Amino acid sequence: MNTQLQTIQFNSQSLVTFEQNGTHYTAMKPICENIGLAWNAQLLRIKRDEVLSKGMIVMITPTNGGEQEMVCLPIQYLNGWLFGIDTNRVKPEIRETLIKYKKECYQALHDYWFKGEAKREINLQKLTKEHQLFLKDLVMDRTKRLPKDKQAKGAIAQWSALKTHFGKSYKDIDDEQFVEAVSLLARLPLEGELIIEQQNTEMIQLPYSIFLGIMKHTRLAKKLGEKTETLHRTLFELLKIDRYTRNDLAAIAYDVRAEFNAVLDVGEKYLREYQIKNGLLEEIKPRVRMIAKY
């Protein structure tokens, strides 16, 4: 019995497949995400269907975040599921992708297992102008977020990584490799980026602007949680609802306000240290100081 997960590329996206007891399966959530379908709704649809539900299996896979459940269907059931989705009832922006999956996805998985590879009927094309521009913008965006004295080195590191990985200029890589190129750039560590060390010695790297945005968002969320909790508990009192009656909204608001304070305090500490080190502390405008005096 072989249950080793395999990954194949289809439509510049990854599909997960494996064999178990002579049956070839594919993971359904990645396909839904690739197309742009809401996974929870499709999972309910699979469970309601008399045929699909009997063919469905749940595979447990280990990840860094713990064990995860992966819902899978035999690949011969894939078209039945796909053709049950009305292309006229989905969002216009995902209609073309859905049609492509209906036409080619099953065949790609079938060819992988029975012909040794997933062959496409279209010829490989060089990176399109649109995708070239996207990669350039991605490099520029990450570069601009670095401290000024690190930007030139950061830009060179990104272009060099692409050339080393693909063995050619980014303009000459196949368009099918676009997603791989984006993933490579997104994961490439750059000197000067904010790095947070976890207890298990793994590292999470974030551009400064993203981490700053996360912290600003959490500050606002805590304020919103505090106001919402107070308002909702006051509303219960005004409506003379017994204080021990379950109040889910107030409970959630409390969690937002207080549950993660210890972790967020560490985040604020990292942020301030990084800002001081790189001269990034936000200036307080005179108008704000004047208001604070009253």
Highest averaged pLDDT of the listed ranges 7-16, 91-100, 248-257, 283-292? 91-100
CA distance 270 to 254: 25
Give the three-class secondary structure for 164. helix
* 159 band by pLDDT with thresholds 50, 70 and 90: very high
User: For the chain, how big is the Rg over CA atoms in Å?
Assistant: 25
Contact 185, 134 (CB under 8 A): no
Predicted confidence at residue 204, as pLDDT, reads 67
Name the pLDDT band for 46 (thresholds 50, 70, 90): very high
pLDDT averaged over every residue in the chain: 78
Q: Does the structure show a pLDDT above 80 at 78?
A: yes
Give percent of the chain above pLDDT 70: 81
When pLDDT is cut at 50, 70 and 90, the band that residue 57 belongs to is very high
Q: What's the CA dihedral at 185, 189, 194, 196 to 10 degrees?
A: 120
Contacts for 264 with CB less than 8 Å, ≥ 6 apart: 215, 218, 222
**pLDDT tens digits, residue range 11-25?**
777 788 888 888 889
pLDDT of residue 288: 33
Tokens encoding 114: 């029975």
**Band (2; pLDDT cuts 50, 70, 90):** very low
Query: Residue 279 and residue 43: Cα distance in Å, rounded?
Result: 49
Grade residue 116 by pLDDT with cuts at 50, 70 and 90: low
The mean pLDDT value for 155-178 works out to: 86
Stronger pLDDT, 289 or 59, i.e. the higher one? 59
> Which string of DSSP letters, residue by residue, matches 90-155?
S-HHHHHHHHHHHHHHHHHHHHHHHTSS---SSPP-BPPHHHHHHHHHHHHHHHHTS-GGGHHHHH
